[in-house]
Structure 1
């Protein structure tokens, strides 16, 4: 998806969240209305799909944001250092793997000379969740796009030891009784995870509108 303007970014974020909200609402309703054994099935399916939406929303919206910043025509020197790290990701990996000073010097020179190079990337290749979007991977994604994650810290246990753990148990065929899940608990998890998705989408929107991607905001960039 090509995103060139802040309006296109907002439209992409709104569309991303809208269809996920509709489906998640349908899933929550299905859990509430199902009876007997069907309710157990609905809860198990609900946790699996809730995780899928959590991973998909974070990955896609973060990718949209990187694509938007890439389309602005700014140089790496105008942007926060995380964007330079994204631009030079593979060179930095080579630096770590090599013991050769010649290679290290070449990479250092590349970093120095990159400040005047336009930040242009293929955003679709950057954000990785490894199908396991736990708190550690989430923090790496936030670092990649240069956003603060303090507001999420109190929810890391929910993400790691509740949502992911139960999703993994369901994926391995565990019965509902072993998951410590009922309708009330499912709805609690559902609502909290969706609020985190909304928090993230709002944070990305605000970051774009407030130009938080810039190394410093000056009259030149405002």
Structure 2
């Protein structure tokens, strides 16, 4: 993941197979007899599938973006604060056998003395979606890597209730009546969110939003040397 082109290819290829699978499944729903037992079963089983692609694509895309930024070989001085935090925390976690207080002092010392060193962004680990990617966790991950999630903040209820809560209830064996109209609407909403994730990350990479000089209120790396 060394170039913007490689990042975009990864985003596109991962989205393509997910979109294809979801459209194929939707086709099965549409071909089944309306309001039949088969159609209701397909719609109910489709909710966990929609959720799986939401969490899977968000995790893949954000991890790919972190890898892309990590391989820019930038210094802490040059990076967006979120990536600085990722690097510092990864280094702090590697300080085994020291107390919480000493680790806190270590973080402060590192921030004061290592801003000109290459950031140790843990891109091999990827992101942790905690297996329940609700809207709050999504927005926190976006904020961490400097992405603006405001365009989908109105989707919070849909993510938390119509997608995640319903998925959990179905996965735990509860019966929920999901009709084809509701399922198709949720299908379209999930695809809209996936496309937003793809475009937000692609645009951020193109615009260098991962750099500190792209953050309002922070000095650019050039300013720091004047």
Check conservation: 2:47, 2:183, Cα contact below 8 A: yes
Q: Which moved more, 1:31-40 or 1:184-193?
A: 31-40
Deviations 1:72-93 (A, max 9, x none): 1111110110001000125667
Give the distance between the partners of 1:18 and 1:137, measured in 2 at CA.
24
| Displacement of 1:107 | 2.4
| Displacement of 1:131 | 1.0
The aligned residue for residue 139 of structure 1 is 139
196 and 99 in structure 1: CA distance in 2 versus 1, 3 angstrom threshold: closer
Q: Give unmatched runs, 5+ long, in structure 1.
A: none
| Displacement of 1:126 | 4.1
Following TM superposition, the consecutive aligned residue runs of length 4 or more in structure 1 with deviations greater than 2 angstroms are 90-94, 97-100, 102-107, 119-122, 217-220
The aligned residue for residue 18 of structure 1 is 16
98 and 139 in structure 1: CA distance in 2 versus 1, 3 angstrom threshold: farther
Give the distance between the partners of 1:31 and 1:184, measured in 2 at CA.
10
Give the one of 183, 193, 209 matched to 1:186: 183
Check conservation: 2:152, 2:193, Cα contact below 8 A: yes
Normalising by structure 1, report the TM-score.
Answer: 0.88
Check conservation: 2:83, 2:121, Cα contact below 8 A: no
Q: Which moved more, 1:55-64 or 1:25-34?
A: 25-34
Give the one of 188, 195, 198 matched to 2:195: 198
2:42 is the alignment partner of 1:45: no
Normalising by structure 2, report the TM-score.
Answer: 0.87
The aligned residue for residue 217 of structure 2 is none
| Displacement of 1:98 | 4.8
Q: Give unmatched runs, 5+ long, in structure 2.
A: 215-219
